[in-house]
Structure 1
């Protein structure tokens, strides 16, 4: 009897064993596309499809930019709790690691003394370690957006989506004028404007200028960015995200008297409201960066950065002046946003939005 002819779509046992294609190893070769034969052009790739569930609702304000078809309240709450837990853990671990590495390199005193001095900001390495630890909030926030909410990280920065760099630069200039001016007024009222730089001021200043902007941006990205969006999207109320994130922000600053707590709460509320109104983090980042640079810089020029680090109280007059600075800065940067005609809500029909979503 003549053997039955082998079908063309069934490979031999030897061929199947050698093949790296699972379909071929299973005994069936995938059919060939006629268009892929020589002389025939390959078909055009189908247009990229976007999953509507991973996009915010059209017209959503910034605090609801993480709310999509997959949003459930417990997932947002879990993301917020997980983020805060990582923050408390990583800030301590990373800060201690930076201090330890500084001690290994220099060995000026025993480690216990060196660590205590660093934590008190008596050494520049302590300020650097703290800022580097807080900077871990940036990757934490980005990871939570991707893993917990299945959204793209662009929406964390603005409703454009992404960072609006021109607006950020203008806000930095506005904030510099406001906070330098308010600091000058406060020093005149306190009659303590004598300039006498602390020992090692140059190194402290370098740490402030290099790492404080990253630290301030990280806090804004987490508290006014991820935390506000997660909590706001959990119950579809933008104001809830603003208020809750501001309260957590103030409480996370540790021991403080009522005037200092109100000061930090006011900053969080104003920054959150501003982010809501302008549709992005840029103005809040600028205000936070300049507030920190001016405060640390002036402390290093007059008393010491360690003295500022130890502050746990403000008078109501000092708190009120700083809150006034926040209000003026917020009003001016809001005016700039209106003049620049920035987008303040999600617009999925805008050019380039879905291609970056």
Structure 2
């Protein structure tokens, strides 16, 4: 296993041509400090890489979803004609198999993002995790626990006056397993692509301010959710902006992933417990009141996550310049 790992590292390193400049923030990682020719190259790769990533996902994810659904369909004894069955379970989450297949399809955004950083931009994929570089597991676990507490409390408060009827889904434990195993992958995948690769790639086209990458990636994230009313669109857009702001302020994806995972586990967990999984999966609308409460929760978590990052002194810039706990990004 060690030999295989060493071989993989050598293969990856063979594609690496650039390293980030020292002391730069997360959005600036893919910018090359070279003459005009390299600057134009960065812009072209930023636009082209973003388009290539979206196209690759649109082509690859359905194959993964169909393949995983096919395995479940065979395991269940081919209960009906495959394609109508697969379409129904993946689009409505009427069965745990539909959730697993769909969320594993979304998880393809992780290898897609890493491949783009390595093969298109020629940087090591470890810079996609954070400016450390690498994934900061301790920070992720701490912010994950805080996200569950903060977002869970806000969600509970938002339900005051509503029904708390417990009527578990028929396949409740199957849903619990699907949520615990695949929701973190799905949430992390969206963060890796939208707040990770896409934010960095868009930033290369307008490097004077991180907000172009933050807002641009958030807009694409919201639009990718398809048909939705205005509050639902703004919910996803503003969440994307807050998650992007967290990336800039904390130097990595961990806090955004924590918020995304906590949100999805709470939403789908209650859906499984209350028998509303199909309704939760297929909803395309939210109210202005729900929008305000949810975004207040995300904003509160983001503020706490930044404080935690400073207390833990997590890196907010690439190695080369030391920043103290009170320095601004």
Q: TM-score, normalised by structure 2?
A: 0.87
Cα deviations by residue, 1:175-229 (Å, 9 ceiling, x for unpaired): 010121122112224x111211121111011101101001101110111000000
Task: Name the Cα RMSD after superposition.
Answer: 1.8
Report what 2:158 is aligned to: 186
Distance in 2, Cα, partners of 1:249 & 1:52: 28
Which runs of 5 or more residues in structure 2 are unaligned? Answer: 1-14, 35-40, 323-329
Structure 1 or 2, whichever has the larger Rg, is 1
Cα deviations by residue, 1:279-300 (Å, 9 ceiling, x for unpaired): 1101000000010000000111
Distance in 2, Cα, partners of 1:215 & 1:69: 34
TM superposition shift of 1:117: 2.7
Distance in 2, Cα, partners of 1:253 & 1:96: 19
| Aligned partners of 2:147 and 2:301 also within 8 Å | yes
* Superposed structure 1 runs of 4+ greater than 6 Å apart: none
Distance in 1, Cα, partners of 2:124 & 2:320: 14
Distance in 2, Cα, partners of 1:315 & 1:235: 34
Report what 2:250 is aligned to: 278
- Evaluate the alpha carbon distance shift between residue 53 and residue 92 of structure 1 in structure 2; reply closer, same or farther with a 3 A threshold: closer
- Evaluate the alpha carbon distance shift between residue 311 and residue 52 of structure 1 in structure 2; reply closer, same or farther with a 3 A threshold: closer
Question: Does the residue aligned with 2:205 lie in a helix, a strand or coil?
Answer: helix
1:102-251 alignment to 2 at 5 Å? 102-106=72-76, 107-119=78-90, 120-189=92-161, 191-236=162-207, 237-251=209-223
Cα deviations by residue, 1:21-54 (Å, 9 ceiling, x for unpaired): xxxxxxxxxxxxxxxxxxxxxxxxxxxxxx9971
Report what 2:68 is aligned to: 98
Question: Does the residue aligned with 1:159 lie in a helix, a strand or coil?
Answer: coil
Question: Does the residue aligned with 2:62 lie in a helix, a strand or coil?
Answer: helix
Residue among 276, 279, 287 paired with 2:259 = 287
Cα deviations by residue, 1:299-327 (Å, 9 ceiling, x for unpaired): 11113211101110001001111101110
| Aligned partners of 1:246 and 1:268 also within 8 Å | yes
Residue among 273, 284, 297 paired with 1:312 = 284
Which runs of 5 or more residues in structure 1 are unaligned? Answer: 1-50, 351-357
Distance in 2, Cα, partners of 1:152 & 1:112: 39
Question: Does the residue aligned with 1:109 lie in a helix, a strand or coil?
Answer: coil
Residue among 228, 231, 237 paired with 1:259 = 231
| Aligned partners of 1:54 and 1:69 also within 8 Å | no
Distance in 2, Cα, partners of 1:183 & 1:256: 21
Tell me the matched-pair count: 300
1:78-89 alignment to 2 at 5 Å? 78-89=48-59
1:42-61 alignment to 2 at 5 Å? 54-61=18-25
TM superposition shift of 1:342: 1.6
Report what 2:326 is aligned to: none
Residue among 64, 68, 74 paired with 2:28 = 64
Question: Does the residue aligned with 1:54 lie in a helix, a strand or coil?
Answer: coil
Distance in 1, Cα, partners of 2:217 & 2:243: 10
Distance in 2, Cα, partners of 1:124 & 1:61: 40
Distance in 2, Cα, partners of 1:264 & 1:184: 20
| Aligned partners of 1:60 and 1:346 also within 8 Å | yes
Distance in 1, Cα, partners of 2:16 & 2:144: 35
